[in-house]
Amino acid sequence: MLTVVLRTAQVARVLAASTLGRLPLGAAPVALLLFARETLSIGAAGALVGVYTAGIAVGGPVLARVADRFRQPPVMLAGAAVSTAGFLLLASGVPLWAALLAVLLAGLGAPPFEAGLRVLWRTLLDEEHVPTAYTLDIAVQELIFIFGPLVAGASVALAGPAAGLLVTAGLQLLGTLWYVSTPVVRGWRGEHAERHWAGALRSGRLRLLLVAVVLVGAGVGSLPVAVIDYAESVGSRGWSSWILAAQATGALIGGLVNTRVKVDGRRLPLLAGCLGLGYAPLLLTPSSPVLLLLLAVVSGLFLPPFLAATFVTVDRIAPVGTAAEAFAWVATAFSVGAAAGAAVDGAILDATTGPRIGFLLSPLVIIVAAPLLVPLARHVRATTG
């Protein structure tokens, strides 16, 4: 199935373009931290990353809703222009209040590549190959979080603090131009339907799915905090990067393996349970970082199949004419959950001693999400047979 997907006209091009455009998701937080640390303060660094993330969380669904109603290219180009302006303003060395405004613009305007790409799969592929495309997309997305930080760090090391921001903005703009030049993107139109003020959120099933995604995001987002605390406890903070890269590698492996398996919403509770259980071995907190690194690979294996099944379910439960917005809400829910998970885990570790407790939140909240998905699995089973 993977070979069929990759050989389909325009698939490789649109996937590569969107991946390039999404590289700032991995590069921007590092670029912002390094820039603020050198030019503002550590406190400002955290604030800039938080505001940027909030901007993406708010702007993504709004831009996707406009794309649903009209077309993708104008929305993507306008968003990229606003985001680029924000990065350029920040890189010019403005005071903190202006820096916060600039980074908010950079986040609000970030083109919603995830949502835009995922509504294209049903245009490009037969129904039976769409789940494979979702899984491939998720697997490739892991490269963003492996190479994005490296690109930002290398840019700053070679050309100074502002270089990370400029390279991030340039990659996003280049990816946007490449993406919107693709025929399938230029030709895509949202489905005509009666509009509602609540958009995709008027679907109760979608709202339930988003709650579960927030919980899964919290579990995934808490891990970096736990890993950093663990690395410090064994005497080398540098291990944190390798352990997180190992988890991303596990997700990449899981995604590539899963392209050979058909997933759908009927398996959502099972996949959420497996994902949560995959995090449980981290509670062993072995004294050897190498062993924890191997356990981190295991923790990443089930994330791509869970997300692929989530996207297939979104296809079935989103109101007509709101597909792009619905996908954007999934991305927002995951991001919000990740931010909340990191904050809660940080507070837990501040109030306790020992690194093991930091790894408890991930499996706990992810497994809690599983029963919430049972009604959705039943709905998919009833409507698909």
User: Is 292 within a domain?
Assistant: yes
Tell whether 64 and 138 lie within a shared domain.
yes
Q: Is the pLDDT of residue 242 over 60?
A: yes
Of 170, 190, 210, which marks where a domain is finished?
Answer: 190
pLDDT over 70 for what percent of the chain?
96
Average pLDDT of the segment spanning 274-282: 96
Q: Amino acid letter at 176?
A: T
Final residue before a domain boundary, out of 190, 219, 254: 190
d(CA 152, CA 29): 9
Counted residue by residue, the chain has a size of 385
Distance CA 46, CA 33 (A): 7
Q: Which residue has the higher pLDDT, 199 or 246?
A: 246
350's CB contacts (< 8 A; 6+ apart) are none
Domain with 8 in it: 1-190
192 — pLDDT class (breaks 50, 70, 90) = low
The Cα–Cα gap between 197 and 194 comes to 10
Q: Which of 49, 48, 185, 53 is nearest to 113 (CA)?
A: 185
What pLDDT score does 318 carry?
Answer: 83
Residue 258 to residue 254: CA distance in whole angstroms:
6
Q: What is the pLDDT of residue 42?
A: 61
Q: Do 174 and 208 fall into the same domain? A: no
Mean pLDDT of 364-378: 94
Judge whether residue 75 has pLDDT over 60. yes
Assigned domain for 99 exists:
yes
What is the mean predicted confidence (pLDDT) over 248-253? Answer: 88
Please tell me whether residues 122 and 252 are part of one structural domain: no
Residue 374, pLDDT > 60, answer yes
CA atoms of 302 and 236, how far apart (whole Å): 28
Residues 174, 306, single domain; the answer is no
Final residue of a domain: which of 152, 169, 190? Answer: 190
pLDDT of residue 79: 97
Q: How confident is the model at residue 133 (pLDDT cuts 50, 70, 90)?
A: confident
Q: Would you say residue 104 has pLDDT above 90? A: yes
Q: Is residue 214 part of a domain?
A: yes
User: Is 282 in contact with 295 (CB distance < 8 Å)?
Assistant: yes
Q: Give the per-residue pLDDT at 156.
A: 85
Mean pLDDT score across all residues of the chain? 87
Whole-angstrom Cα distance, residue 311 to residue 255? 14
Identify whether 195 is part of a domain: no
CATH of the domain at 291: 1.20.1250.20
pLDDT of residue 344: 87
CA nearest neighbour of 342 among 197, 252, 223: 223
**Which residue carries 């995959």 as its tokens?**
278
User: For 134-173, how does the pLDDT look when each residue is reduced to its tens digit (9 = 90+)?
Assistant: 888 888 887 887 788 888 888 888 988 899 999 999 999 9
Mean pLDDT (whole number) for 224-240? 81
CA distance 357 to 372: 25
pLDDT of residue 193: 56
pLDDT in tens, 306-337: 998 998 899 888 887 788 889 899 989 998 88
Q: What is the pLDDT of residue 221?
A: 86
Signed CA dihedral, 191, 208, 345, 280: sign only: negative
Answer yes or no: are the C-beta atoms of 331 and 114 closer than 8 Å: yes
Indicate whether 375 pLDDT > 70: yes
pLDDT of residue 91: 93
Whether 276 is covered by a domain: the verdict is yes
For the chain, how many structural domains are there in total? Answer: 2
